[in-house]
A and B are shown apart, each in its own frame.
Chain A
Amino acid sequence: MVLSTRKKRQRFNSKNTKQQRPDPIEAAEGFEAKENDHSSDSSHFRDTPPQSVLLCSPEVSLDSPPNAPAWIDRYSDIHAQTGLAVSKKKFNEIMDWLSLALEHAAPRLLVLSGPPGCGKGSAVRAACEKLECKMVSWDAPLTGSLGISTTLIEDFQSFVIGTRYRSLVTEPEEAQDMHEYKATYSAKGNANERRLLLIDDLPLHLTDLRTHKETIQQLFWNIARYAPYPTILLLSENENGIHRLSKLILGQSLLQSEWVGTLAVPPVTTTMMKKRLQELLSIENITVPREQLERIVSSSNGDIRSALNILHLFTTGDGQVQPTESRTHRKRKRPRVSKKKENLQLEFDRDVALSTYHAVSKILNNKRGESGQSRYVAEEILDEARTDPTTFVSFLHQNYPEFFGDCDDVVPTLTCLSEADTLLPWRQEQDLRVDLRECAASIVTRGFLYFNTQPRRSGWRPIRGPESQKTAKESRSHVQYSKMAFKGCIHPSISTRSELCETLPYAKKIGELSMSRCARFAPNAATNRDYAYSDAKMGVNARGADLMANGGQSLGVSIEAEEVEDSTDPIEEWEADDWQ
Chain B
Amino acid sequence: MSTEGLLWVDKHRPSTFSELSYHSVLTKNLQSLSNTEVPHLLFYGPSGAGKRTRVHCVLRALFGQVVEKKKVVHRTLKVETKQIEVTTVASAHHIEVNPSESGNNDRLVVQELIKDMASSAPLDMKKSLKVIVLHDVDQMSQLAQQALRRTMERYSKTCRVIMVAESITKVLEPLRSRCLGIRVALPSKSDIGVVLQSVAHKEGITLPDALVQRIAETSGRNLRRALLQFEATRVSVGALELPSDAQVMLGDWEYVCQDLAVMLTRSQTAHQLIAVRKKLQELLAHAVPGDVILRRLLEEILRIADDEICPEICRVAAKFDRNLTKGTKPIFHLEAFAARFMQIYAAFLKQQAAMMD
A interface residues with partner B (beta carbon < 8 Å): 390, 394, 397, 401, 404, 407-408, 410-411, 414-415, 417-419, 421-422, 424-425, 427-429, 432, 467-468, 470-471, 474-476, 478-479, 482-483, 487-498, 500-503, 505-510, 513-514, 517, 523, 525-526, 529, 532-533, 536, 543, 546-547, 549-551, 553-559, 563
Query: Is B327 on the interface with A (CB-CB < 8 A)?
Result: yes
B181 to A: closest C-beta gap in Å: 19
- Would A414 and B335 count as touching, CB distance under 8 A? yes
Query: Is B331 on the interface with A (CB-CB < 8 A)?
Result: yes
- Would B229 and A556 count as touching, CB distance under 8 A? no
* Further 17 A-B residue pairs, CB within 8 A, beyond A407-B268, A482-B287, A498-B48: A407-B346, A411-B339, A418-B336, A432-B143, A475-B284, A475-B285, A475-B286, A491-B13, A497-B166, A509-B252, A513-B236, A532-B252, A546-B4, A555-B10, A556-B69, A558-B70, A563-B72
B69 to A: closest C-beta gap in Å: 6
How far, in whole Å, are A529 and B254 apart by their CA atoms in the complex? 11
In the bound complex, residues from chain B placing their C-beta under 8 Å from that of A394 are 329
Enumerate 23 A-B pairs (CB-CB under 8 Å) in ascending A order: A397-B329, A407-B342, A410-B339, A411-B336, A421-B326, A427-B104, A429-B141, A468-B329, A468-B331, A471-B281, A475-B285, A483-B87, A495-B98, A501-B289, A502-B222, A506-B249, A513-B249, A517-B238, A529-B252, A549-B5, A556-B69, A557-B72, A558-B69
Contacts A494-B89, A496-B136, A553-B2 given; does A425 touch B287 at CB 8 Å: no
User: In residues 208-251 of chain B, which contact A (Cβ within 8 Å)?
Assistant: 222, 224-225, 228-229, 231-232, 235-236, 238, 247, 249, 251
In the bound complex, residues from chain A placing their C-beta under 8 Å from that of B13 are 491
In the bound complex, residues from chain A placing their C-beta under 8 Å from that of B135 are 494, 496
Contacts A495-B98, A500-B289, A501-B253 given; does A417 touch B332 at CB 8 Å: yes
How far, in whole Å, are A323 and B329 apart by their CA atoms in the complex? 44
A215 to B: closest C-beta gap in Å: 23
A21 to B: closest C-beta gap in Å: 60
In the bound complex, residues from chain A placing their C-beta under 8 Å from that of B72 are 487, 493, 557, 559, 563
In the bound complex, residues from chain B placing their C-beta under 8 Å from that of A526 are 247
How far, in whole Å, are A490 and B96 apart by their CA atoms in the complex? 13
Nearest-CB residue, chain A, relative to B11: A554
- Would B235 and A513 count as touching, CB distance under 8 A? yes
- Would B5 and A411 count as touching, CB distance under 8 A? no
- Would A494 and B289 count as touching, CB distance under 8 A? no
How far, in whole Å, are A475 and B7 apart by their CA atoms in the complex? 24
Contacts A411-B343, A421-B329 given; does A510 touch B231 at CB 8 Å: yes
In the bound complex, residues from chain A placing their C-beta under 8 Å from that of B119 are none
Q: Hey, what's the 0/1 contact readout for B55-74 against A, CB within 8 Å counting as 1?
A: 01000000000001111100
How far, in whole Å, are A242 and B151 apart by their CA atoms in the complex? 49
A-B contact count (CB 8 A): 235
B9 to A: closest C-beta gap in Å: 7
A30 to B: closest C-beta gap in Å: 62
Q: Hey, what's the 0/1 contact readout for B18-45 against A, CB within 8 Å counting as 1?
A: 0000000000000000000000000000
In the bound complex, residues from chain A placing their C-beta under 8 Å from that of B285 are 470-471, 474-475, 478
A350 to B: closest C-beta gap in Å: 35
A88 to B: closest C-beta gap in Å: 45
Q: Which of B71, B232, B269, B284 contacts A558 (CB 8 A)?
A: B71
How far, in whole Å, are A483 and B289 apart by their CA atoms in the complex? 16
Contacts A492-B96, A494-B97, A536-B252 given; does A428 touch B326 at CB 8 Å: no
Contacts A418-B336, A523-B236 given; does A429 touch B142 at CB 8 Å: yes
- Would B5 and A547 count as touching, CB distance under 8 A? yes
How far, in whole Å, are A58 and B278 apart by their CA atoms in the complex? 63
- Would B340 and A411 count as touching, CB distance under 8 A? yes
B302 to A: closest C-beta gap in Å: 19
In the bound complex, residues from chain B placing their C-beta under 8 Å from that of A482 are 287
In the bound complex, residues from chain A placing their C-beta under 8 Å from that of B340 are 411, 414-415
How far, in whole Å, are A529 and B323 apart by their CA atoms in the complex? 32
Query: Is B351 on the interface with A (CB-CB < 8 A)?
Result: no
How far, in whole Å, are A42 and B216 apart by their CA atoms in the complex? 92
In the bound complex, residues from chain B placing their C-beta under 8 Å from that of A428 are 104, 107, 141, 143
A562 to B: closest C-beta gap in Å: 12
Contacts A482-B287, A554-B1 given; does A421 touch B332 at CB 8 Å: yes
- Would A503 and B9 count as touching, CB distance under 8 A? yes
